[in-house]
Amino acid sequence: MAEKLFNVQVICPERQFFNGDAEMLELKTTEGEIGVLAGHIPLTAVISPGVMRIINGDEVKEAALHDGFVEILGDKVVILAESCEWPDEIDVHRAEEAKIRAERRLKSGDGEIDEMRAELALRKSLIRIDLAQKYSK
């Protein structure tokens, strides 16, 4: 028996990243990781940087999802994201440089550094690096 499907739309400022059906959607919010199935209770949440998984049968699509909002309705999920990248779109060299910069900022101990911003930049770069390396094999 086929699972119930629902529509997933991921919209970024520069493009519609994804629009299609899914059996399950997994993503990270500020309240923790969530899994969404068809008929999920209505919910609006703030997205936290992490890996988004769109599952449809045996097919699993993964993307780096960075900040935004998710609105979950019974038969539709809309994600408004700051940015979202498929593994093959990630510039690993750029992500490595961002990681180094963020680590330097955090280690500097400079009182004028926005520590939360540096930690967020570090987390985003690590997500990108891990996801790109997972699919480059």
pLDDT by 10-residue block (mean), the chain, 137 residues: 83 96 96 94 95 95 95 94 94 92 82 79 92 86
Is the distance from CB of 57 to CB of 47 less than 8 angstroms? no
**Is 1 part of a structural domain of the chain?**
no
- Tell me which residue range forms the domain holding 97: 90-135
76 and 101 both lie in a single domain = no
Which CATH number fits the domain that encloses residue 110?
1.20.5.440
* pLDDT digit string, tens, across residues 58-96: 999 999 999 999 999 979 999 999 999 999 999 999 999
Residue 16: exposure state from Cβ atoms within 10 A (0-12, 13-18, ≥19) = exposed
Which CATH number fits the domain that encloses residue 73?
2.60.15.10
Domain count, the chain: 2
In this prediction the pTM is 0.87
Among candidate residues 78, 51, 52, 83, the one with its CA nearest the CA of residue 67: 83
